[in-house]
Chains A and B, each alone.
Chain A
Amino acid sequence: EPEVTQTPSHQVTQMGQEVILRCVPISNHLYFYWYRQILGQKVEFLVSFYNNEISEKSEIFDDQFSVERPDGSNFTLKIRSTKLEDSAMYFCASSASQINSPLHFGNGTRLTVT
């Protein structure tokens, strides 16, 4: 069964550094998402992406965050200047359509900001 793959599985970075989290969605999917889960808290929606544009974003997704689909397969989340509170598990997801098509999640990238 096709899977969403995320790399790296763990990332440690220093405060103020830029990080890029990478995702390869399922190949025929058109909608892409990032969610995050801070330790001990709920999984939270960050952003959705379709047709090379952000279609929806949450309050969490401020100017420090950006997403990009640089080629036909990768979908990236960039955090420009990491803060301690960015430490979380970041999940990428994709779906074939927006309606009646469930999200398929990757295994996540655990980001630790020191």
Chain B
Amino acid sequence: AQSVTQLDSHVSVSEGTPVLLRCNYSSSYSPSLFWYVQHPNKGLQLLLKYTSAATLVKGINGFEAEFKKSETSFHLTKPSAHMSDAAEYFCVVSDQAGYSTLTFGKGTMLLVSP
């Protein structure tokens, strides 16, 4: 069975400073990993995905994540936060075999101050 642990429920940064949202996973198979973002009153938007190709994955809005098998981690980073990045971020894992069963982390709320 797969699981995801997001290590921080809230992360606060200042605009223009780097963002780091941490995620550790557990999976019985070679995992597919995703980051989704949810802005207030909006749906879940896919930021990026890892599916066993390059370990450094680039996503939308300047975000990227690095898959580290030895550390079972898939942390999300961005060099410079923008006010519009304030949202809730979910780390998600799926079996390699298919995407129908996604297991979500509890989410990390990113707060960006001016």
Contact = CB atoms under 8 A, between A and B. Distances in A.
B43 A108 contact: yes
B20 to A, nearest CB: 21
A62 B67 CA distance: 36
Interface size grouping (class) on chain B: 20 to 34
B100 A31 contact: yes
Contacts of A103: 46, 99, 102
Nearest to B100: A48
A108 B88 CA distance: 15
Nearest to B44: A105
Interface in B3-36: 34, 36
B98 A43 contact: no
B106 A102 contact: no
B103 interface: yes
A45 B93 CA distance: 12
Nearest to B101: A45
A11 to B, nearest CB: 15
A37 to B, nearest CB: 8
Interface string A89-110: 0010101001111111111100
B113 interface: no
The 5 closest A-B pairs by CB, nearest first: A105-B44, A48-B100, A43-B104, A107-B43, A105-B43
22 contacts: A33-B100, A35-B104, A42-B106, A42-B107, A43-B90, A44-B104, A45-B103, A48-B100, A48-B101, A56-B100, A91-B44, A93-B44, A95-B99, A99-B99, A100-B51, A102-B49, A103-B46, A103-B102, A105-B44, A106-B43, A107-B42, A108-B43
Interface of A: 4, 6, 31, 33, 35, 41-45, 48, 55-56, 58, 91, 93, 95, 98-108
